[in-house]
Copies of this chain bind each other. A is one copy, B any other.
């Protein structure tokens, strides 16, 4: 660090000023109980007057644990991020740890860069979130040499990376069940592009299983794809509406709240009311889901809890390496939040 004049102040200068050795200064920093109260006081006031802050970089060099965990996310703009972060922050804080954050901006290249960045900053472990984690990451993660935990996603590779998330297949199945229980059988589907997108694949699988369970055939004509964001939801709905004369949809099932909201806007712009003329179902239960009108009926993911679990797993892996790793996928319970965007419909006899 530097004082106001720009001169670096190190532990050694504090030591000189306090008339002790560098080791002692280090001790008042890390193991204050081991040092004499008087000297401790002298050292502290020396630090104060010299305006000294320990260099975390050098610190990480000497000691193994930095008490910092890395967080690598696809994009901070994703609406779910604030809740996930809330859980992570809460839990790290409760354990006296810090979070080092890196945003990959939906780029695989930047995700790799992120691993390297976090690694180089000597984090004790990494929490990773991405739409896709395939076998290409296996080698990267394996050779990283520090614990990695997945949230909201799972790996399709062979390396058994611990993962905390909801059972998306089941969640989407439940979503369909709900719509069917409300009388819907002609259900439009707005999903992901399915490329580099395991989330989309799983949710689509759940959607299909749901339909199959109720004896409703899955139709490509009822499906449109987007990128999880508002505009793409709007556009997908637009395309669905162009075929509406044939399709005669009564409900739209979306794999993200943001696309659901986009769809609602598109419907509105075409003079269709939600849920009177068309029901809309979301997925995620992000904070905005209850800010739109009608409030969005959706599947709630326990983002905060997922974040907390992930932190605990990383801590356990890094602090108790003797314990077996919590490998594999850990499902946390989702639940359906019934609000106002889906209505009950009388079954169309023609179907």
Contact status of A120 and B53, CB under 8 A, knowing A85-B76, A103-B89: yes
Contact B293 A122 (CB under 8 A): no
Contact A98 B76 (CB under 8 A): no
A315 at interface (Cβ–Cβ under 8 A)?
Answer: no
A214 at interface (Cβ–Cβ under 8 A)?
Answer: no
A143 at interface (Cβ–Cβ under 8 A)?
Answer: yes
30 contacts between A and B (CB under 8 A): A1-B119, A1-B120, A1-B143, A1-B144, A1-B145, A2-B145, A4-B143, A4-B145, A6-B145, A6-B321, A51-B145, A53-B116, A53-B119, A55-B61, A56-B120, A56-B121, A57-B57, A59-B120, A76-B82, A77-B287, A89-B105, A101-B101, A121-B121, A230-B291, A268-B293, A288-B288, A288-B291, A292-B292, A292-B293, A293-B293
A94 at interface (Cβ–Cβ under 8 A)?
Answer: no
A58 at interface (Cβ–Cβ under 8 A)?
Answer: yes
Contact status of A291 and B53, CB under 8 A, knowing A3-B143, A82-B76, A101-B101: no
Contact A2 B54 (CB under 8 A): no
Closest B residue, CB atoms, query A51: B143
A146 at interface (Cβ–Cβ under 8 A)?
Answer: yes
In the bound assembly, the distance between CA atoms of A53 and B287 in angstroms comes to 39
Chain B positions within 8 Å of A265 at CB level: 291, 293
Q: Which of A26-68 contact B (CB under 8 A)?
A: 51, 53-61, 66
A86 at interface (Cβ–Cβ under 8 A)?
Answer: yes
A142 at interface (Cβ–Cβ under 8 A)?
Answer: yes
Chain B positions within 8 Å of A66 at CB level: 57
In the bound assembly, the distance between CA atoms of A116 and B57 in angstroms comes to 11
Chain B positions within 8 Å of A292 at CB level: 291-293
Counting contact residues on chain A (CB < 8 A from B), the size range is: 35 or more
16 other A-B residue contacts (CB within 8 Å) besides A85-B103, A258-B291, A292-B292? A1-B120, A2-B146, A3-B143, A3-B145, A4-B145, A53-B116, A56-B117, A57-B61, A57-B120, A58-B61, A89-B103, A89-B105, A100-B101, A230-B287, A261-B291, A293-B293
Chain B positions within 8 Å of A293 at CB level: 264-265, 268, 292-293
A218 at interface (Cβ–Cβ under 8 A)?
Answer: no
A81 at interface (Cβ–Cβ under 8 A)?
Answer: yes
Closest B residue, CB atoms, query A2: B145
Contact B56 A122 (CB under 8 A): yes
Closest B residue, CB atoms, query A58: B61
A293 to chain B, nearest CB (A): 6
A142 to chain B, nearest CB (A): 5
In the bound assembly, the distance between CA atoms of A6 and B317 in angstroms comes to 13
Hey, what's the 0/1 contact readout for A133-164 against B, CB within 8 Å counting as 1? 00000000011111000000000000000000
